[in-house]
Copies of this chain bind each other. A is one copy, B any other.
Amino acid sequence: MKYDPAQKTTRGAVRTLKAFSETMLIMLGEKPFEKISVNALCEAADYPRATFYNYFDDKYDLLTYCWYRMRREVHLDQISGDPTDASFMAAFDQIYHLFDSHHDLLIAVVSHNPLDSQLVNHFIQYFTSVFTELFTARAKPQELKTPVELVAKHYSSTVLLIMEWIFLGQHPTTREEAEVYVRELLEPRFTCVE
């Protein structure tokens, strides 16, 4: 992101950032992302174009900030403690809750932006990278030949795949069912025992 939220961020800046990101989310529920011009966005947010470019490199940069705000609502960081299976499922549950709490927004957005659109892609990729970091931080000491980073990416992309299936692909699924999916996909042993 062009604008680093870890910086000081004056009160005015916060207001501006918030205005742009909320306007973007509203417009995403109304039309496809490609049809949203920076012009129209500034019009709707009632800020001059130059201000937009003050804070963001481009449309995509604003998107990143939108996802950043969404992600921030849930405190995922606290999980990275011990690497037991229980803690993994705890992380998974928090992720499920994060998406579930934005259910309506996601439905609205997907109705104008297909699953293979740039927008959905950008969304998935953002959260994949967030979770990859998370999983890398709490990686088990490995008995595998596969590199740790690759395993972490595999975990996070699988979790995101399930979230995409449930919340963007419109396949209503309870948290318990979702937990079964993630176990089946990431630990086939689970199914042998049952």
Contacts and interface: CB of A to CB of B under 8 A. Distances in A.
A74 interface: no
Nearest to A143: B191
A189 B193 CA distance: 12
A41 B129 CA distance: 32
Nearest to A187: B188
Contacts of A158: 154, 157-158
A146 interface: yes
B171 A161 contact: no
B180 A145 contact: yes
A191 B188 CA distance: 12
A125 interface: yes
A125 B118 CA distance: 10
A161 B157 contact: yes
Given A188-B188, A188-B189, A189-B188, A171 B147 contact: yes
Interface residues of A, number: 32
A6 interface: no
B145 A150 contact: no
A116 B60 CA distance: 12
A166 to B, nearest CB: 9
A77 interface: no
Nearest to A185: B154
Interface in A40-91: none
A18 interface: no
Contacts of A149: 165
A182 to B, nearest CB: 9
Contacts of A165: 147, 149-150, 153
Interface in A167-190: 171, 177, 180-181, 184-189
Contacts of A189: 188-189, 192
